Amino acid sequence: MTGGTMSIVELITGNPPERDYPLDYWGRGKNLDDWQTAASELETFRRQTGSLYEKVRALIFLSAMHRFHIGPAVQGRALVPYRAIEHIRARSFEQALLELLAMQQEAGSSPALCSALAAAYRGLAFETLADQVRQSVRQFPGNQWMFRAGHVDEYPLRLHPTLHQGPPFPVLHETTPVRMDLSHSAWSDIFFLAMDYPEGARVLNISVDLSIHGSGQPTRPPVEGFFRIIDEPVLRLVSVDLAAQVDITSLDEVFDFGADYLGLLKAAVIASGLIPAGLEGSGQSLSRILTCLTGRADCGLELVSQVNDIPKGSRFAVSTNLLACLISLCMRATQQIRTLTGPLAETDRRQVAARAILGEWLGGSGGGWQDSGGVWPGIKLIQAVQATEGTQEFGISNGCLLPNHIILTTEDVPLAARRSLEASLILVHGGMSQDVGPVLEMCTERYLLRSGKEWDARKEAGHLFDQLVEHLKTGDIQQLGRFTEMNFNGPIQTIIPWAGNAYTKALIDACRLQFGENFWGFWMLGGMSGGGMGFLFNPEIRPQASAAMPGILSDTKHRMEEYFPFAIEPVVYNFAINESGTTAQLKQGDDALLSAPYYLFRTPADLRRQTKDLTPERRRELARFPIAFAEHMQALFDQLLPAREVESATASGQKLISLLNANGFDPAAHEQLRSDYYHGLLGLAQNRLPANTLIEDVKPDDVSQMDIHQDSVGKQALTEGRLAIITMAGGVGSRWTKGAGVVKALHPFHKVGQRYRNFLEIHLAKTNWAQKQFATHLPLVVTTSHLTGRPITQFAATLEPQFQHLDIHISPGRSIGLRMIPKSSDLHYLWEVMPQQQLDEQKQKVRDSGRASLLKWVQQAGETTDYTDNLPSQCIHPVGHWYELPNLLRNGGLRQLLHESNNKLQYLLLHNVDTLGATVDPILLGAHIASGAAMTVEVIGRQLDDHGGGLARVNGRPRLVEGLSLPSEQIESSLSYYNTGTYWITIDALLKVFGLTRDCLSDQLKVDQAVRRTAQRMPTYITIKDVKKRWGRGQEDVFPVAQFERLWGDMTALEEMHCQFVEVPRSRGQQLKDVAQLDPWITDGSSAQFDPLF
Amino acid sequence: MQLKAVITAAAPGQRHILDQTLTTHDGKRTRMIEFLLNFVQGVATETAFIIPAGASEAYRPLLNESGQRIVLIEQNHPQGYAHAIFEAREFVGNQPFLHMVGDHFYLAGNQSGGQRNKQPARTLVESLVSIYQQHSCSISAVQPTRESLLPYFGAVGGKAVSTEGPTKLYQIEKVMEKPTPTEAERELWAPGLRQGQYLCFFGMHIFTPAVMGILTELFSTGHPVSSFSQALAILAKRERYLAAVLPGSRIDVGSKYGLLQAQLALGLGGPDREEVLSMLLELAAR
């Protein structure tokens, strides 16, 4: 049977090769009826099958079918029932599906229903997979008892007798290497893949010690943990590298993961069984457990973590190995591991790895199945294991939860080969820290769909893996480098194009340019490039390469830092293979001390207390540590007198003031806003229209359809040079980078041919095409803000030749706001009243706990006070895109355009930089001209993810309404159309609304007054935005801050602004706001339209 | 069948068997050691008590009172439980022997409707001997025990030989001393038990001479022997070694309220049950 003739169910249940036949290939030549029949069969099948993976594949198939095949082909207008939206938000996917399928049955299929069905099926698929991993890890032998221990009286652990011998109490010290993955193996270590495709899940995993190149420090295990009894009845958790400490006295605090920076230590405490998971919410006493463990009512425990100079996002799985280190430490201390010191036995390593997976789930993070590789020594071949009778996964999934670790001995990989690798490889952290979560989901989805070229790439990765192993065994590092780079350029980027990026490419090009044949290859570590990476060089020139790499990294970073989310300055590591794995030692007597950094962190606080307030042990330790760590006394004084911090804060404050002054900040208006916000005249609740406002869906006649007959009118206007384009590029991609603040317009997010292209380049290419197509001259205005103006101006000055002839104008921003600390009432409103997407159970717990901390932060920082505790650029904000066009009036940009066109210019196409489909379309221009409207608004049919308002009849008049202003969220779901943010504008009509004419544009005072007068008629919205604050070594905190905005869509509410609304195809109107949208953007063919333009 | 018996009473928690007394339903105050002798009566041809160095004098009167053949062995250089048993090597010679720990009080029969099915505790020892006669291999009495009590006992895992009838039998494959629940869950499988329960030693064993051979090997290395379970783990690898779940229960009188618990069990299992219950309620209500 060939793939195409199989039923859709056979595609899932068949054996390979049928099972591996891509869904896309199966669908070739199928029509809408065929797809709908197949969806119906699959819906029945997925409810009946008992196999986890058949169920999950069916769900992912159903999601893809509704999103890419059925949704775009159906014509219905049925909207998504609000109850289904609520169910999806609450993660009640089955109930959502019942609602959606019932609506489909009743009203027929529609693009909106298909979008919701696709989301619900996808959500259910990933939830089913995650539940299975959780179930497997809970049922892993040795883990189950922790969920049964629900009472202190049943607490079964005792500390190792040696740890009681004191004072001073002995210190148990564990050091753990981190892991690097030499093979990458195309993300085959994702649990979902390994448990379905164990034969393909193989990695070459190496335990490594590191140090920062140039620091003068020898390489050492990057992760350390300490455990001891203390003479205070508390559970003390300390993270030395995060400079955080908490003394826990209740069990509830142990399970409160988001309350502080110690979530990982808490997860280790629970996953190690020290505080069993079954005690959560039991109301039991922590002190009784501590007494049970220490044998004394006046003693407690201290657990300390320390990461040695490794920044976040290193791709060495630092957090997983730290978790494993701490779990191992606690398990040794409580005799769950029999060897108190030294390396671990294989059984114990596996137990620690299983507990680390548990800990990651508890802490709401996630890791791959090879990530705790640092627990094992040296070089390991890690392979997934087929589930067989007797394994807990048998009958549920093809593979087991935990893989097998085959340690490669010096017979397999000789010492010489190991030394050759060390002599060739330079490991770096490129400085970027990115969330790889979306990549892992994309990867899983593509695997389950067996998307054609990705599946071929996965098979190719398997062949390359065999080659890598062979070359490592023979010590042929040159060939190894060739194959790691081949892997990166081939399978890895075929499966996930965003695994590579322009920054990485620039680094590779620079190395090749500088070192030519002596640069043997690039190697990507982990989920995405830009963070942890490897460069292999001929050992003969490696010293030169080591010396050059910091400069290459730093130069490249500084060229790109305005449009890539860099978290830290790049670093180069020294590294060595660690042949021991995780190891513990016991420090007793006078040696019973922790590390110097620990004392540097803790001692200043102790010294500020009165001696009588310190416990006897602490006093004795304060006397002992200066002798043991005499060379660190200067550093201790520096800690006590933090002069540099004060200097830095002062400099930052001055920079903020000058930035505000330079960008037209209006202190008086700011104070008025603050006052209004403080007194409740502005706020999230006040954003909403009065409850008695009549808001209804528009009538069919309110929205025009595109009419080919209007094509000629538009073409003529184009030919006559009566149109200019305005691309709004003032934004910093809050959602795109989750608050990191980059120039989104310049972010090179997509590879066309061999080059990465940014948003603006795509618009330039379209403008270029349109000029040629319509034989005309099309001025392109890029409106900017204080954050984006300079980088975009620089970019425009160095365009590549194909764009140099374009008529580009940069419109500088004239308005700027200063963020404020939000009111706690607004945060409550945002989190409790406004609809929120629920997260998976454990992640939601972490989020809720984090929110409680943010509310405390608001109280401490002062509601409605200025937000200044961050980089200056993160404290200010653009004040909404309403100002971008009026800025053109104020800064003379429009006057200049009119002048240069000899006053022929009559129309503007205004759009957002992330609306990539917004091209110059003569039909739409023709429709606009023919209507006589001041403004034509492009709208699209609403789908599930379209939040933030839409087109409505407000008190009987069609206009755009912002989501912020809707009295109830339910109303939004009843609106058929969503605003694309793309507008066609007649210049003279707009000027009239402002009370201006072409002639008076040169009267600056008049223009300023006109803009101010019109602005006052626009509603001011308070919004809460997430802002990242970076600190330490790549650590990031996200704070909610208040800012105000005025939005262009509200112009449609003005009586004198005659507007018409026209429906456009989704591919034209969709905005790319979130990185997770990229995958469907490519899959649905939206991206392919730009390929011919370059 | 009759065997020699070895009762260990040298550990700190076992040293009070001469002083600790319980009152039986007829009002007679009986010492723990008398209960122990009563348990082995009719089965043991001769009983050796392993006692602390210098304790013989205190035990001497017992030799005359009991009417049983008793040997006292002082543990002059105490090195733990395994060593205490090893001290009896000459006493047992190359013969199988019954071993009990001196700090356990036994109750025979199953609990039913709050009433214990009254049988003399001696029947437990007799049952063990009967199983030994049937299988001719080392056999340890075990009791399904909640995982929270694992810090107090040695525990075993293995496959079922017979799970029908009042006595369930398992072939021991793994022995661990005071395992953590983590180790127990991973290593000590035994079918037919409730989740979170493991087969823990009952304090009553019949061993073949192989045990003394293993102890001899372990002590001859000069390394400390961490626990008797270490020897039993080797035994399970070398020869057939069974675990029997006997219809009874044990109380560790060496634990904090162990003696009180044993007294209450005696009271509640006898004709004065109502009186003891009223007493408890009255105390609880105060």
What digits encode the pLDDT tens for the residues A938-952? Answer: 999 999 988 888 999
Beta strands in A102-161 (DSSP E): none
Q: Name the pLDDT band for B118 (thresholds 50, 70, 90).
A: low
Inspect the interface and report whether the beta carbons of A145 and B186 lie closer than 8 Å.
Answer: no
Inspect the interface and report whether the beta carbons of B186 and A156 lie closer than 8 Å.
Answer: no
User: Which amino acid, one-letter code, is at A1058?
Assistant: H
Report the chain A residue with the minimal C-alpha distance to residue B184. Answer: A142
Strand partners, B252: B104
Which of B180, B186, B195 lies nearest to residue A156, judging by beta carbons? Answer: B180
d(CA A543, CA A537): 10
| CA nearest neighbour of A730 among A819, A790, A670 | A790
Inspect the interface and report whether the beta carbons of B148 and A334 lie closer than 8 Å.
Answer: no
DSSP state letters, A230-241: ESSSSEEEEETT
Which of A146, A154, A338 lies nearest to residue B148, judging by beta carbons? Answer: A154
Q: Is the pLDDT at B166 greater than 60, yes or no? A: yes
Which of A141, A158, A351 lies nearest to residue B151, judging by beta carbons? Answer: A158
Which of B149, B150, B186 lies nearest to residue A142, judging by beta carbons? Answer: B186
Report the chain A residue with the minimal C-alpha distance to residue B153. Answer: A156
Inspect the interface and report whether the beta carbons of B196 and A145 lie closer than 8 Å.
Answer: yes
Inspect the interface and report whether the beta carbons of B148 and A156 lie closer than 8 Å.
Answer: yes
Report the chain B residue with the minimal C-alpha distance to residue A151. Answer: B148
| Residue that has been written with the tokens 């509410």 in this structure | A1053
Inspect the interface and report whether the beta carbons of A142 and B182 lie closer than 8 Å.
Answer: yes
How is residue A918 written in tokens? 């917004």
Q: What's A150-170+223-307+318-366's CATH class? A: alpha beta
How far apart are the CA of B149 and the nearest CA of chain A, in angstroms?
Answer: 7
The predicted structure's pLDDT at residue A14: 86
Chain A interface test: which of B146, B176, B186, B256 (most A C-beta within 10 Å):
B186
The predicted structure's pLDDT at residue A646: 61
Structure pTM?
0.85
How far apart are the CA of A786 and the nearest CA of chain B, in angstroms?
Answer: 59
Inspect the interface and report whether the beta carbons of B148 and A153 lie closer than 8 Å.
Answer: yes
CATH of range A661-819+863-1093; options 3.40.50.2300, 3.90.550.10, 3.30.56.10, 2.60.260.20? 3.90.550.10
The predicted structure's pLDDT at residue A3: 61
CA atoms within 13 A on the CB side of B128: 34
CA distances from A811 to A780, A899, A1014 (A): 10, 16, 20
Residues 6+ apart with CB under 8 A from B188: B155, B156, B157, B174, B176, B179, B198, B199
B256 CB within 8 Å of a chain A CB: no
Instruction: Give domain A181-199+207-217+409-582's CATH superfamily.
Output: GHMP kinase, C-terminal domain (3.30.70.890)
For every residue of A251-295, which 3-state class applies, written as one string?
Answer: HHHHCCHHHCCCHHHHHHHHHCCCCCHHHCCCCCCHHHHHHHHHC
Q: Is the pLDDT at B59 greater than 80, yes or no? A: yes
Residues in B closer than 8 angstroms to A162, CB to CB, are: none
Report the chain A residue with the minimal C-alpha distance to residue B181. Answer: A145
| CA nearest neighbour of A969 among A86, A326, A165 | A86
Residues in A closer than 8 angstroms to B224, CB to CB, are: none
Q: Is A60 helix (H, G, I), strand (E, B) or coil?
A: helix
Report the chain A residue with the minimal C-alpha distance to residue B196. Answer: A145
Q: Is the peptide bond before A161 cis (omega within 30 degrees of 0)?
A: no
Find out whether A371 and A327 touch, Cβ atoms under 8 Å: no
Inspect the interface and report whether the beta carbons of A336 and B180 lie closer than 8 Å.
Answer: yes
Report the chain B residue with the minimal C-alpha distance to residue A147. Answer: B196
Domains of chain B: 3-285 (3.90.550.10)
B182 CB within 8 Å of a chain A CB: yes
Residues in B closer than 8 angstroms to A338, CB to CB, are: 183
d(CA A452, CA A175): 44
Inspect the interface and report whether the beta carbons of A148 and B182 lie closer than 8 Å.
Answer: no
Residues in B closer than 8 angstroms to A148, CB to CB, are: 147, 195-196
How far apart are the CA of A397 and the nearest CA of chain B, in angstroms?
Answer: 21
Chain B interface test: which of A140, A144, A155, A391 (most B C-beta within 10 Å):
A144
Inspect the interface and report whether the beta carbons of A148 and B186 lie closer than 8 Å.
Answer: no
Segment 140-179 of chain B within 8 Å of chain A by CB? 146-151
A661 CB within 8 Å of a chain B CB: no
Which of A145, A331, A336 lies nearest to residue B147, judging by beta carbons? Answer: A145
The predicted structure's pLDDT at residue A647: 66
| CA nearest neighbour of B44 among B91, B9, B110, B107 | B91
Residues in A closer than 8 angstroms to B181, CB to CB, are: 145-146, 149, 156-157, 273
Q: Is the peptide bond before A822 cis (omega within 30 degrees of 0)?
A: no
CA distances from A1093 to A685, A759, A802, A804 (A): 46, 13, 11, 15
B25 CB within 8 Å of a chain A CB: no
The single-letter DSSP state of residue A657 is H
How far apart are the CA of A588 and the nearest CA of chain B, in angstroms?
Answer: 22
| Residue that has been written with the tokens 């930089």 in this structure | A913
Find out whether B198 and B184 touch, Cβ atoms under 8 Å: yes
| CA nearest neighbour of A593 among A550, A546, A635, A632 | A632
The rounded percent of chain B whose pLDDT value lies above 70 is 95
Residues in A closer than 8 angstroms to B147, CB to CB, are: 145, 148-149, 154, 156
The predicted structure's pLDDT at residue B112: 44
Residues 6+ apart with CB under 8 A from B272: B25
Inspect the interface and report whether the beta carbons of A142 and B149 lie closer than 8 Å.
Answer: no
Regions of chain A with pLDDT less than 70: 1-4, 364-367, 642-649, 739-740
| Residue that has been written with the tokens 């769900």 in this structure | A59
| Inter-chain CB pairs, A–B, below 8 Å | 52
| CA nearest neighbour of A762 among A754, A750, A775 | A750
Inspect the interface and report whether the beta carbons of B182 and A158 lie closer than 8 Å.
Answer: no
